Amino acid sequence: MQWKNVLSTMKPYKPGRSIEEVKKTYRLDNVAKLASNENPYGCSSTVTEFLMSAALPFEIYPDGHGATLRTKLARKHDVEESSILFGNGSDEIISIISRALLDENVHTIMPTPSFPQYAHNAKIEGANITEIPLKDTYHDLNDFIGAINDRTSIIWVCNPNNPTGSLIPSDELESFLEQVPENILVVLDEAYFEYVTDPEHVDSITLLDRFPNILVLRTFSKAYGLASFRIGYAVGSSKIITELNKVRNPFNNNTLAVAVASEALDDDGFIEKCRKLNEIQRERYKSFAFETGLHMFDSETNFVLMEVPTDADEASEFLLQHGYIVRSGNALGTPGFVRITIGSEEQNTGLLEAFTLLLQEKGR
């Protein structure tokens, strides 16, 4: 078969290890998965109660328009309904954007290390890629501007950034957007928006009138605790959304996913509670890093990138043996660090105990 040449240089996505697999391998009764930035508090009870009695017309194709959810989200964000695009997770939206705009004749700019799907999709489409290294853990937006050429089609901004957790100050982001030519799409991937506690942070959806070339990505996978349903959305100008809709598969979100996302939007209190609990637990990691002298990146998300006293794969393996699945920085472009999803109070206590054992074993 004539596969695209680039596929010979790529690997399929390798998911982290599952709780069941780790339990079996290491003969553990309790394992906490702190590797994929899921919500340790689950999802809103509004959703679980709804699911108990959800009798939906499963034999009928989903409403490809997601009408009820669309109306609620448009009201929440004070935008037109035609400004919203739903995806099977924001992962799918990233691939829709790439498919719609990228090919071998165009150029795209993205941060590194960052969420790998931008580069992954751009490679498949054959685009020319410029990866801009983070500077002191932040996007170097001046370098982004410097990298623009007359073929640049998309600029990807991950804010807050995965895997560092760092947030671009809103004034810096706005002055960057002022410099980007209007014919370039700026994707603001904000998967962790709901966890941000910086009081200065401006909701970028409110910038859409000033910058019609931005597209804001949000997801129900993180703070809303609905990762398994695979639903995310983009907010942008109706013109951009219309073009992207030409690429979207007709029934890309299933009926149940759209229904639970809609229920979840009725419980702002749950998101508020999770943001607060996460902030309290994030402070524990900060104190731990301070006390142990380990470097930890300033995080505005539900994960932290923590320095380890040994090779990151070895550290991850050690934590795994103690029942904690984390992500080795070697796989994320941040060797010497592990990415830990901020769990519940109990999970974090256990993880920090295991981390302390690791430090002792390494004489730190």
Closer of 116 and 336 to ligand PLP (Cβ): 116
Closer of 115 and 138 to ligand PLP (Cβ): 115
Closer of 221 and 316 to ligand PLP (Cβ): 221
Closest CB to ligand PLP: residue number = 89
- What single string gives the DSSP state of each residue in 115-150? -THHHHHHHHTT-EEEEEE-BTTB--HHHHHHH--T
Residue among 307, 297, 348 at smallest CA distance from 328: 307
Closer of 223 and 296 to ligand PLP (Cβ): 223
Q: Which two tokens mark 100?
A: 């719609």
| Min separation Cβ 91 and ligand PLP, Å | 3
- What single string gives the DSSP state of each residue in 268-305? HHHHHHHHHHHHHHHHHHHHHHHHHT--B---SSSEEE
Distance CA 115, CA 118 (A): 7
- The backbone torsions φ and ψ at residue 37, rounded to the nearest 5 degrees and listed phi first, read 55, 35
| Min separation Cβ 160 and ligand PLP, Å | 8
| Min separation Cβ 105 and ligand PLP, Å | 26
| Min separation Cβ 158 and ligand PLP, Å | 5
In the complex, which residues of this chain contact ligand PLP (CB under 6 A)?
37, 89-91, 115, 158, 162, 189, 191, 219, 221, 227, 232
Closer of 168 and 191 to ligand PLP (Cβ): 191
C-beta of residue 152 within 8 angstroms of C-beta of residue 129: no
C-beta of residue 236 within 8 angstroms of C-beta of residue 243: no
| Min separation Cβ 48 and ligand PLP, Å | 19
